[in-house]
Amino acid sequence: MKFAARSILNKLLWDSRIDRRDYEIVYESRGAPEGVERVSALFLSKVFSRGFEYEVEGKRKYIPFHRILEIRNVRTGEVVYKSRRHKFY
């Protein structure tokens, strides 16, 4: 599916049956140690056509979809999305 990450993030944002606290988004971040950051889907605020936005402590951050490495359920360990572009992760 071409827009799999976007579809999953939209579902996390809008489907009230899903507990967003159970999900984590792992993405490439050049400024972070080891080049990777994680954010709870609980902080997800918007999904755009080319990326998503999250807000923590009043600060918003935009992440393009191509930087997402994976989306996982932290409670069960299930990986619901894994990037095919990032073989190293």
> Which stretch of DSSP H or E encloses residue 44?
strand 44-47
Q: Locate the domains of the chain by residue range.
A: 4-82
What are 32's two structure tokens? 């972070």
Interval 69-78: pLDDT, tens: 999 999 999 9
Is the CATH number of domain 4-82 3.20.20.100?
no
Interval 20-65: pLDDT, tens: 999 999 999 988 888 999 999 999 999 999 999 999 999 999 999 9
pLDDT of residue 18: 96
Alpha helices in 1-89 (DSSP H): 4-14
